[in-house]
Amino acid sequence: MSTALKELLDLPNLPQLVEKARQYLQEEALRREQFYDDIDETVKAEFINSEVIIHSPFKRRHNNARKYLSLLLDVYTRSNDLGEVQDEKIMIHLSRNSFEPDIAFWNQEKAKEFHDDQMLFPAPDFVVEVLSPSTAGYDRGIKKVDYALHGVAEYWIIDPVENIVEQYLLEGEEEEYHLHGRKEMRDEITSHAIPGFKIPVSAIFSASANLAALQRMQQT
């Protein structure tokens, strides 16, 4: 039992707090349904802690990092029939929050249940967020916590300014991430959630390195 939960259970006004929380969550669920009705494919928006967050356009370096990694992941996973990769405009529906991660991967067992008209998707096995000034707080904060709580086995946070990838993994039965490595341009990175996926970090940030990695991948 967590310390926070134990402290809550010891409060004499626990029944009143539980009732207020229940009412709040009911109202929040209605707000999220309205959020789904209001958004469209032209806007990148998320529902985070009961608020609608609209994101501004990203810089070229952000889009390039997402594009380069997404291409490698997509080619690799489709070539090896491992599952499905989606990027940017894909809505992940969690218990309370709705996120649009930069890249997400689901294993074959989960992906085979998807259909072409689907708009809301369950927690992935692997998620990537590319930092920007407006999203870094969410990427390192509530998203990191929520992805872990929903069993996303691996989480990469990419810094496109410093050219660094932080690799976080769930370990055992724990519901929080542990930093497995902080990879730089000279390093290689190996996924734990996607069997056999290993690339040079430079392939995420450099067009020429990305093309070379893609060519090697297609030759194997």
Spatial neighbors of 64 by CB under 8 A, at least 6 apart, are: 160, 205, 207
Taking all residues of the chain, what is their mean pLDDT, rounded to a whole number?
A: 94
Spatial neighbors of 206 by CB under 8 A, at least 6 apart, are: 68, 185
Amino acid, res. 37: D
The domains found in the chain, sorted by start residue, are 59-219 (3.90.1570.10)
Count of CA atoms in the C-beta half-sphere (13 A) of 102: 28
The overall longest dimension of the chain from CA atoms, in Å, is: 66
- β strands within 110-185, DSSP E: 120-121, 126-130, 154-159, 164-170, 177-183
Q: What is the pTM of this model?
A: 0.91
pLDDT in tens, 41-100: 888 899 999 999 998 888 999 999 999 999 999 999 999 999 999 998 899 999 999 999
% residues pLDDT > 90 (the chain): 81
Region 1-19 average pLDDT: 82
